[in-house]
Structure 1
Amino acid sequence: MRGTTVPPGTPCLVPRPDEMPLHRLEVAGAGAPPFAAGSFDAVGPLSRSARPHRHTFYEIVHVTGGSGTHVVDLARWPLAPPHLAVLRPGQVHHWEHSRRLDGTLVLFTEEFLVDHPGDRELLRQLAARSWLRPEGGEGEWIGRLMAELVGEFRQRAPGYESVLRSLLHVLVVRASRLAGDPVPGVMAEGRTAAVAESFGRLIASREAVTWTVRECAERLGVSPGYLTQTVRAATGRSPGRLLIEARTRRAQRLLAHTELSVRQVAVRTGFTDPAYFSRFFRRETGLSPGAFRQHHARKHHGSVDQSLERG
């Protein structure tokens, strides 16, 4: 992905009218690793933004204090710290009614995972959960790991990049154990794991939501049967089901966060017939596209009004 890192202060992008603002990772300068870590205050006001937006990078946030609601892909997660959230590139999120947020954030692009490429699949699985609640000793070791990452990032002692990658790998693996997710290599071996991981990245792209399983298989260079076998082994679900869920999430984002008509949303999610799109959407969400839009418009406007009253 181009433009994943930028100098500090670079404005966020709005590449198309049907997309959310796009935040890129700010780095100190040329040659700096695509990584950052710190508190909400250290990372800056965008770390607690009340406006829906996307990232070009992964974000792991450990909330240790405060109140409010974290909204990820329209799922609402009321805060009851400690909480651990994992966001992958492209997910839409924002904070509602947040007050006194305290905790630590770790931000990094996919290229930073060069030493441990298998962590991409674990991060995808964690992002699907979005929000974990470590308790007791689990919360303590997450806090220590996050603090070590912040310390290494600040000190920048010789060899700090390799230390950051190692600590991040430990954090991802142990968070996956906390979530009960399988570790790549245990659930599948070699090419099987690679194909399943590639499919996960593929359906996260905007274009892929309009593709069929056969088209995805062709782009990955495998047969539809092999793709179905590997994805089901890795996730417990079929690629067709995952494509439907990705298409539904895409439609929800467009309805909730843009002013596109229902017909335009249908086209952008691969439907030529708006009536069929409406039936599909109601089947998957329980609401018509219009009702879904009205419901989330009321929620968003209420959030903005309350934040203005507090200000």
Structure 2
Amino acid sequence: MSVIRQLTYQPVGRPAAAVETMTFDRLRELNDGGTQRADFHVIAVVDAGHGSVTVDFLRHPLGERSAVWVAPGAVHRWDDIADVAGHLVLFVPTAPVTHATRELVACADLVAQWSVPDADWPFVDTARNHLLLEASAPPTDATAQLPEILLSALIARLRPPHSDARSTNAVFGLFRSRVEAHFREHRDAGYYARALGYAPRTLSRAVQQATGRTAKAYIVDRTVLEAKRLLAHDRLTAAGCAHTLGFPDASNFSVFFRKATGMRPGAWQSAVAAPMKGDAEESHSRP
């Protein structure tokens, strides 16, 4: 049976630190190629090389001047990082200090990978290097919050794509938050239109503009993602998933899952299972 390693945020040497950094060299020393799930955020900034990372069952390329964001709870695996140079920043959800960056961190569907535009790279590189310098300095009462401030600067300079949808599409932001809170009970787009006080067409246009998907497809995709996490991480059966996700029974859930993915839940679970070395629990934070 596949085991997904649980990672808990426990920074080395600075127990109270909300932000920790490491190089890809250090990640290679720690990484065993297994699948992981953390209770903290990981942002990776790639300087050079090529590789790949799988986040919530989707494989993403790593390349020069690209960035990766792995949110808490996301099932992920560093597939190919032998040739990758850069840094990773690990932080708790409350670490950012500005309102805008806290909103980004709280976003329900973070973009996992994107390329940093050439015009933005000098600012990203400078923000990253300043954070690395402060994170390596001995902490004092006067400087304790500097890594958190500089993390906020780095996030702002990285300009993750999900920030655009949140800042320019208020209707979608409200819809996304409501779906995150209620997709286990409600999978009808009409429910969200009524709950938010918008006409179904208005809601549909907002979701289409932000994601390229219909409101119904967005809800289905979010439910399927949670089902995949339950199947891969918690090793639940179809009956267990049905109970957790609010389906009447295992048969109903299986029909839903197969229609969305083309596979039965048990077959998908078997397909993604992979042997993993090490213990199921990990006490030290690492991506």
Same fold (TM over 0.5): yes
Match for 1:246 among 206, 216, 222?
Answer: 222
CA deviations over 1:234-280 (Å, ceiling 9, x no partner): 85678765443222112112334454333333333322322221221
Instruction: Please report how far the alpha carbon of residue 76 of structure 1 lies from its aligned counterpart in structure 2 after TM superposition.
Output: 0.7
1:49 and 1:92, CA in 2 relative to 1: closer, same or farther beyond 3 A? farther
- The corresponding residue for 1:25 is 9
- The corresponding residue for 1:93 is 76
Unaligned segments of structure 1, at least 5 residues: 1-16, 218-222, 305-311
Match for 1:210 among 184, 189, 196?
Answer: 184
Correspondences of 1:150-161 after superposition (within 5 Å): 150-156=132-138, 159-161=142-144
1:93 and 1:136, CA in 2 relative to 1: closer, same or farther beyond 3 A? same
SS of match in other structure, 1:166: helix
CA deviations over 1:31-60 (Å, ceiling 9, x no partner): x231112313456844x4522121111111
Asked if residue 36 in structure 1 is aligned to residue 20 in structure 2, the reply is: yes
Of 241-250 and 143-152, the range deviating more from structure 2: 241-250
Tell me if the contact between 2:19 and 2:95 (Cα under 8 Å) persists in the aligned partners.
Answer: yes
Letter in 1 for 2:5: P
Tell me if the contact between 2:36 and 2:75 (Cα under 8 Å) persists in the aligned partners.
Answer: yes
Asked if residue 225 in structure 1 is aligned to residue 209 in structure 2, the reply is: no
Correspondences of 1:54-73 after superposition (within 5 Å): 54-73=37-56
Instruction: Please report how far the alpha carbon of residue 109 of structure 1 lies from its aligned counterpart in structure 2 after TM superposition.
Output: 0.9
- The corresponding residue for 1:269 is 245
- Flag the structure with higher helix content: 1
Q: 2: distance between equivalents of 1:271 and 1:134?
A: 41
Task: Point out which structure has higher relative CO (alpha carbons under 8 A, 6+ apart).
Answer: 2
- The corresponding residue for 2:104 is 122
Unaligned segments of structure 2, at least 5 residues: 278-287
- The corresponding residue for 1:4 is none
Tell me if the contact between 2:19 and 2:148 (Cα under 8 Å) persists in the aligned partners.
Answer: no
State the TM-score, normalized to the length of structure 1: 0.68
Tell me if the contact between 1:61 and 1:84 (Cα under 8 Å) persists in the aligned partners.
Answer: yes
Q: 2: distance between equivalents of 1:259 and 1:58?
A: 23
Q: 2: distance between equivalents of 1:278 and 1:44?
A: 38
Q: 1: distance between equivalents of 2:206 and 2:124?
A: 29
Match for 1:74 among 37, 43, 57?
Answer: 57
- The corresponding residue for 1:107 is 90
Tell me if the contact between 2:48 and 2:84 (Cα under 8 Å) persists in the aligned partners.
Answer: yes
Letter in 1 for 2:240: Q
Asked if residue 280 in structure 1 is aligned to residue 251 in structure 2, the reply is: no
Q: 1: distance between equivalents of 2:61 and 2:52?
A: 4
CA deviations over 1:119-159 (Å, ceiling 9, x no partner): 23323559632011225343443232212111111124654
Tell me if the contact between 1:262 and 1:289 (Cα under 8 Å) persists in the aligned partners.
Answer: yes
Tell me if the contact between 1:122 and 1:173 (Cα under 8 Å) persists in the aligned partners.
Answer: no
Q: Number of residues paired by the alignment?
A: 268
Instruction: Please report how far the alpha carbon of residue 74 of structure 1 lies from its aligned counterpart in structure 2 after TM superposition.
Output: 0.1
SS of match in other structure, 1:111: coil
1:168 and 1:197, CA in 2 relative to 1: closer, same or farther beyond 3 A? farther
Q: 1: distance between equivalents of 2:79 and 2:109?
A: 19
Instruction: Please report how far the alpha carbon of residue 101 of structure 1 lies from its aligned counterpart in structure 2 after TM superposition.
Output: 3.5
State the TM-score, normalized to the length of structure 2: 0.73
Letter in 2 for 1:212: H
Letter in 1 for 2:137: Q
Instruction: Please report how far the alpha carbon of residue 106 of structure 1 lies from its aligned counterpart in structure 2 after TM superposition.
Output: 1.1
